[in-house]
Structure 1
Amino acid sequence: MNKVAAINATDKKIIARNPKMARKKIFVVLFAIVFGSALGAAGYVAYKQYFKKESFESNLFFAKKTPKPTTTANPLDGTQAEQETANRHPLAVIIENHSQARPQIGLDKASIVYEAISEGGITRFMAIYGPKDAEKVGPVRSMRTFFLDWAAEYNAFLAHVGGNIDALDRIPREGSLDLDQFALDDKAYWRELEAGKAIEHTMYTNTVKLYEIAKSKGWDMNGDFTAFNFLDPKKFIVSSLPQSITIDFSSYSYKVNYQFDPINNNYPRTLSDSPHKDRSTGNQLSPVNIIIQSVNRKEGLTRINENSWTMETIGEGKAYVFYGGKKIDATWKKANLKDRTKFYDSQGEEIEFLPGQFWYEIVPPDVFDKIKIE
């Protein structure tokens, strides 16, 4: 007889001799079975409630997943921007620089700023916006033909208050995407009158409103233009030497100076020997890249006898490029109206830039030759 059979036989004898003990043994066995089943069910419920699939993805067992990047380099100035706006269609706004118009507002939010003489030695700005919005921009002024030449490089939306007739004639003829205040009025523009300030220096706009109107017109909201090549700022060696750049456009009111700041790797700007600041933030305008471009210009009359200047923006000429405390003697080239103006070093290599705001200083040859670089 094997051991199992012997045990079973023994159990039978015990049951026969002591029925009470047998019932107690059966009760214990049944209790164990019921308790074990209940414990197993409770464990299953707890597992389903507290150890779902998501729990295994938490920090309890595994490291968090690396979040996907939310920014990317924008093609206008190379800086990091939110993916939703990084390649937003460029928007050009014409901004006044008359002494009564200062300090301007919103220039610090532009990726690119052009400065050129309009009439009477007075300079005017064209600010190119893209990834950043400005709640208030201005004072907004009228369009000139040379600004159209540079805006065409980006197929930019055009925000302005009218313009010389030669510029206004070109806009529909060239199919430009126009957001003229004359047509939009208070949908995107407003005046803020001030005592002692001429009314032409009181018009303002908002980039959010301008982009909303552009979208309502069914225009493509994505940019499509030739971008510059950008250097890796982590690998770029910034100069520790001081550098000063002075441009005398005309009178003292339009004397511009940049002093290189090696700590912040930018060029704080002064105008008439005073820091040129944004009216809203109070921060000094401090671009990372400066391009000084020598461009021939010619005075003439429009078809309604307005005094007007045109510039030879297509072709090539001399230029200086500054970034990181370094100066590059350059040549600019532009093949046709919509081509991006490119800049080349003395070896004929296309110049790469640092990510950051650009300021273009467009000057006639006689001013270019007198620029002071120290």
Structure 2
Amino acid sequence: MALFKDKKDLDKVGPIRSARHYFINYVLEHNAIYAHIGQSPQAESDLKTMKIADINGQLFDSQRARNKQNDHEYWRDRKKSAPHNSYSSIDNLTNIAKKLGYAVEQSFKKVLNLSADEINLENIEGKNDVVEAEKITAGYHSKNMNEFKYDKETKTYIKKAKGIQAKEEITGEEYKIKNLIILQTTSTEIRDGENKGRIDVKNVGALNGYYITNGKAKKIIARKESRYDITKYYDLEGNEIKLNDGNTYVMVMPEKEKVTITGAETTATSEKTEEKEVNNKKETSKKPSTTTRRR
């Protein structure tokens, strides 16, 4: 899921995929407008009952390619195969949102705790939870691995997925990541009788993980008290961490798979962190904010 804030000049956004109910949890915490094309039955139910501000591309998709004479709100890139070929633009999505009565400008509590000063992770006295992170490998299974390599010149991470360099589709530039957050969780198969392999992903509660930036990695625990609450990230002492100013890539992966972090002289692998470490910072679950976007 891509989140765009104050981006008004993006002429091609996508590929846009179908909605899933666990993605709605992120929509809620960002008070975002959810652009998708189709949805699972579970997401369809949540979109209606929770009154999510969503834009379903199935209602606006021409099923045709875009050209100068035929500029559709959603369009298909015929160089690609469905379902990986549906696109729109920020202008188009904004115009649709206005027609549907959604607020397109608002003030809302920030989700990430960004720092104006550069953050360089260091061990504190008596703790050794910060390690060098020149290369990180993490994946969903053995045939779907991600690799992140640190570029010292730009102080960012370069991503490969399944051995292929991740690049911005239009410019061809390498995708650079300032803040990398890797979280490990559990998922279960949804037995809805359709046998389509749909899953339920746990992203509410406490998740173990890592915050990685500027060539260092630190163990963290992410906490989201309810579907409506903002995800907050804590160190193992229970303090909310600050992130570097820049883009943030959050990867949520199975806890049964390993995260391998390699430095110049060391290699570390993931292991479970006790949730009790941040219990002293647990927050009270809140009801939906009155500023939440509604249909």
- Give the TM-score normalised by structure 2: 0.76
Match of 1:268, SS state, is strand
Tell me which residue corresponds to 2:179.
289
Tell me which residue corresponds to 2:137.
246
The Cα of 1:198 is off from its aligned counterpart by 3.1
1:237–1:150 Cα change, 3 Å: closer
More helix by share: 1
State whether residues 119 and 243 of structure 2, in contact with CA within 8 Å, keep that contact through their aligned partners in structure 1: no
Q: Measure, in 2, the Cα distance between the counterparts of 1:350 and 1:360.
A: 17
Q: Measure, in 2, the Cα distance between the counterparts of 1:293 and 1:321.
A: 9
Q: Measure, in 2, the Cα distance between the counterparts of 1:151 and 1:219.
A: 14
Tell me which residue corresponds to 1:230.
114
Q: Does 1:170 align with 2:53?
A: no
State the Cα deviation string for residues 257-312 of structure 1 (Å, max 9, x = none).
11111221111111222321112111111110011111211111237554310112
Match of 2:18, SS state, is coil
Aligned residues: 242
Structure of greater Rg: 1
Q: Measure, in 2, the Cα distance between the counterparts of 1:175 and 1:158.
A: 11
Tell me which residue corresponds to 1:136.
12
Q: 1:229 is aligned with what amino acid?
A: N
Equivalent positions of 1:11-90 (< 5 A) are none
Q: 1:128 is aligned with what amino acid?
A: L
Tell me which residue corresponds to 1:373.
261
Tell me which residue corresponds to 1:359.
249
Q: Measure, in 2, the Cα distance between the counterparts of 1:304 and 1:295.
A: 24
State whether residues 30 and 111 of structure 2, in contact with CA within 8 Å, keep that contact through their aligned partners in structure 1: no
* Residue among 198, 217, 226 paired with 2:100: 217
Match of 1:137, SS state, is coil
Q: Measure, in 1, the Cα distance between the counterparts of 2:179 and 2:245.
A: 8
State whether residues 166 and 302 of structure 1, in contact with CA within 8 Å, keep that contact through their aligned partners in structure 2: no
1:192–1:228 Cα change, 3 Å: closer
Q: Does 1:152 align with 2:18?
A: no
Tell me which residue corresponds to 2:2.
127
Match of 1:269, SS state, is strand
Q: Measure, in 1, the Cα distance between the counterparts of 2:240 and 2:203.
A: 18
State the Cα deviation string for residues 27-69 of structure 1 (Å, max 9, x = none).
xxxxxxxxxxxxxxxxxxxxxxxxxxxxxxxxxxxxxxxxxxx
Q: Measure, in 2, the Cα distance between the counterparts of 1:255 and 1:344.
A: 26
State the Cα deviation string for residues 144-201 of structure 1 (Å, max 9, x = none).
111112221112111111011111111011010010012223452011223xx53322
Q: 2:24 is aligned with what amino acid?
A: L
Q: Measure, in 1, the Cα distance between the counterparts of 2:229 and 2:7.
A: 24
The Cα of 1:249 is off from its aligned counterpart by 1.7
More strand by share: 2
* Residue among 55, 62, 85 paired with 1:179: 55
State whether residues 154 and 338 of structure 1, in contact with CA within 8 Å, keep that contact through their aligned partners in structure 2: no
Q: Measure, in 2, the Cα distance between the counterparts of 1:174 and 1:225.
A: 20
In the alignment, structure 1 segments of 5+ residues that lack a partner are 1-125
Q: Measure, in 1, the Cα distance between the counterparts of 2:84 and 2:119.
A: 41
Q: Measure, in 1, the Cα distance between the counterparts of 2:211 and 2:77.
A: 37
In the alignment, structure 2 segments of 5+ residues that lack a partner are 63-71, 123-131, 263-295
State whether residues 329 and 346 of structure 1, in contact with CA within 8 Å, keep that contact through their aligned partners in structure 2: yes
The Cα of 1:359 is off from its aligned counterpart by 0.7
* Residue among 250, 257, 268 paired with 2:158: 268
State whether residues 165 and 302 of structure 1, in contact with CA within 8 Å, keep that contact through their aligned partners in structure 2: no
The Cα of 1:238 is off from its aligned counterpart by 8.2
Tell me which residue corresponds to 1:19.
none
State the Cα deviation string for residues 62-112 of structure 1 (Å, max 9, x = none).
xxxxxxxxxxxxxxxxxxxxxxxxxxxxxxxxxxxxxxxxxxxxxxxxxxx
State whether residues 158 and 175 of structure 2, in contact with CA within 8 Å, keep that contact through their aligned partners in structure 1: yes
- Give the TM-score normalised by structure 1: 0.61
Match of 1:208, SS state, is helix
Across the aligned residues of Structure 1 and Structure 2, the Cα RMSD in angstroms comes to: 2.0
